[in-house]
Amino acid sequence: MAIISIVFHSGLGHTKVLAEKIQEGARSVNGNEVSLLEIKGEDVSNGQWKNETITGKLDASDAIIFGCPTYMGSASAVFKAFLESAFYPWLDQRWKEKVAAGFTNSASQSGDKLNTLVDLQVFASQMGMVWIPLGDLPTNNYSEGSIRTVNRLGSFMGVMAQSNADQSFDATPSDGDRLTALRFGAHVAKATQRWIGQAVYQTERHNEEQWKLLEKERIGEATIHSK
């Protein structure tokens, strides 16, 4: 059994949708304990984030998946305060060799989301963690692609999602982004089991058949590939 924590900040709930989908995907892999840990502004005082319950759970995790909205072109300030609180785990290399992965969401198609994922990956590297990238090829750079297909924003480092600024989290991010998050959760869970020596995980390779499957997959009728 792998212990996986999804630690995230979400101002208005859009990024939380992704966190929940990642949790669903990670739980679909046999025998994992998967927790959602929400970083909240109320735990920040004088610019410093503190919540010992959450820190304790992270210390006990095999994998930590980090997620936050992109605000002003980088990780949201509340999440950044949380990242800075990891100075003490950094000092004694407490998170070294845990699996890490990341996701972000913002209103624009680009919105400089890549910068947020870079922030998260650099942070994970400082912590000595092992980063798992997205693993799904982009699908919305072909005529048959759409906002409903997997990795429609063409990200590689982690999940990118886009939420229309005038819609609530019920309506946005898109089905394709939700499906991307779902698949990513399963992917990170399998990679974690492999990393901690509990399973052999032969990662998927994209081929013509796989491509057609991804094009057809829609949220609701989505199946997570068992390979």
Ligand X SMILES: Cc1cc2nc3c(=O)[nH]c(=O)nc-3n(C[C@H](O)[C@H](O)[C@H](O)COP(=O)(O)O)c2cc1C
108 binds ligand X (CB under 6 A): yes
Q: Cβ of residue 95: shortest distance to ligand X, in angstroms?
A: 24
Nearest CB to ligand X, comparing residues 14 and 183? 14
Nearest CB to ligand X, comparing residues 93 and 168? 168
Q: Cβ of residue 211: shortest distance to ligand X, in angstroms?
A: 29
Stretch of 30-38, 44-52, 105-113, 126-134 contacting ligand X, by CB under 6 A: 105-113
What is the footprint of ligand X within residues 18-77 (CB under 6 A)? 69-73
Nearest CB to ligand X, comparing residues 151 and 163? 163
Nearest CB to ligand X, comparing residues 10 and 151? 10
What's the token pair of residue 156? 């590689």
CA distance linking residue 223 with residue 227, whole number of Å: 11
Q: Cβ of residue 114: shortest distance to ligand X, in angstroms?
A: 11
CA distance linking residue 146 with residue 132, whole number of Å: 25
Stretch of 12-20, 22-30, 33-41, 54-62 contacting ligand X, by CB under 6 A: 12-20
Binding footprint of ligand X, residue count (CB under 6 A): 19
Interface residues with ligand X (CB under 6 A) are: 10-15, 69-73, 105-108, 111-112, 163, 165
